[in-house]
Amino acid sequence: MTSGVVDAQAIDLCAVQRQVDAVLESFLAEKVRAAAGRGHPPEVVETVRDFLAAGGKRIRALLCVVGWHASGGHGDVTSAVRVAASLELFVAFALIHDDIMDDSASRRGRPAVHRVMRARLGGGERAERLGAGGALLVGNLALMWAQELLHTAPIESGRQRLVHGLYDAMLEEVMYGQYLDVMGTGRGADDVEAALRIIRYKTATATIERPLQLGAAVAGADDATMEVFTGLGLPLGEAFQLRDDLLDVFGSPDGACAPGLSDLREGKRTVLLALGLQNADLVQRARLDRLVGRADLEERDAAEIRDILFATGAREETERMITSRYEHVLRVLDGAGFPPSADRALRGLAVKATQYTS
């Protein structure tokens, strides 16, 4: 912590989250009304609303607003909050599409959107295809609404171009990251560098760096601040994803997050898996090759994989990577000279991001 002194200007992250949620709610309520007026099916907006309501820590939204504060934003925070809300709709889009591509059964403790659509259509092969189509369109609408929130944010006109440019860059980076992920799944799974590159595109920039920079751009930040956020974004984004990968396979030590099978069934090219494959002996490697990526993988197979990832030191090495990145983040913050309230909020978000539990 930077200071024991009471900070009258402390940023209330819970209040920020409530503001973001209020923008999303009112925006989507208007979409419900518009859909009713035009004879559009109501379930599209409802699906997006349910998705947002099901959870998510709004980490990107919080970073955006804190980035605005850290860059000297003052007065009316409306624009920053609206851009922050836009980021959450963007995340909804990305996850809905992700779940289609992986054919994931659930997300945030509920059936994935394409599964909901499939059920709505009855079932069978035809419903499977059309349900995926319906979910694809719901995802597209979430992206389009994200852009609409951006377009209608009262950003100072001289700053719009930079905000749009950062936003467009973020979208492109995430798509390329997903593309590498999808088209590369199952190939070169022992390549730690490739796995880190996917994180960098798919998560690091979009989850940390761009949200911070978007808030900063709305506040009219200088280049130096933008660079600090780049310096923060990569290590914190990587740590965030490495933690997420560990949680998916091992769950959380406190049991709040149960270990799962989804990454293992999907054969997701995580750093964790790459390290396991690299450090494995011939027998362990043969088992990993045989088990990881099997759609019918069972819990006892997952237990065997976990044992190998533990025995090879892959789990411990991933933990070390998280720690070293987290410490890097603290050093960057030490040198950044942000206002105490923003500095404290950023440190809190760094903990939240690297201990992410859902």
Residues that bind a second copy (CB under 8 A): 35, 38-41, 44, 97, 100-101, 103, 117, 120-121, 126, 129-130, 132-134, 136-138, 140-141, 143-145, 147-148, 151-152, 157, 160-161, 164-165, 168, 171-172, 175-176, 178-180, 182-183, 185-186, 197
The pair of three-digit structure tokens given for residue 163, joined into one six-digit string: 């905000």
Alpha carbons 136 and 331: distance in angstroms, whole number:
42
Q: Which is nearer to a second copy, 66 or 166 (CB)?
A: 166
DSSP 8-class letter at 288? H
Cβ atoms 21, 86 nearer than 8 A:
no
In terms of CB distance, is 96 or 246 closer to a second copy? 96
Contact yes or no for 337/225 (Cβ under 8 A): no
Residue 242: CB minimum distance to a second copy, A: 21
Nearer to a second copy by C-beta: 39 or 255? 39
Compare residues 148 and 304 and give the one whose CB is closer to a second copy: 148
User: Least Å distance between CB 180 and a second copy?
Assistant: 7
Listed in sequence order, the residues at least 6 apart from 146 whose beta carbon sits closer than 8 Å to its beta carbon are: 86, 87, 89, 90, 93
List beta partners, residue 110. 107
Residue partners of 179: CB distance under 8 A and separation at least 6 = none
Residue 147 or 355 having the CB closest to a second copy: 147
The alpha carbon torsion through 301, 302, 304, 308 (nearest 10 deg) reads 140
- Taking the least distance from each CB to a second copy, the nearer of 178 and 262 is 178
- Least separation in angstroms between CB 345 and a second copy: 30
State the minimum distance, in angstroms, from the CB of residue 145 to a second copy.
8
Q: Which two tokens stand for residue 99?
A: 């779940």
Q: Are 329 and 288 in contact (CB under 8 A)?
A: no
Comparing CB distances to a second copy, the nearer of 210 and 243 is 210
Interatomic CA distance for residues 263 and 172, integer angstroms: 24
Compute the least distance from the CB of residue 197 to a second copy, in Å: 7
Helix ranges restricted to H, 71-191? 78-102, 113-120, 124-151, 157-184
Tokens encoding 62: 């919080």
For the bound state, the minimum distance from the C-beta of residue 143 to a second copy, rounded and expressed in Å, comes to: 7
Taking the least distance from each CB to a second copy, the nearer of 38 and 74 is 38
As measured in angstroms, the least distance from the Cβ of 153 to a second copy is 11
Do 146 and 90 contact (CB within 8 A), yes or no? Answer: yes
The structure tokens 């025995």 sit at: 311
As measured in angstroms, the least distance from the Cβ of 266 to a second copy is 11
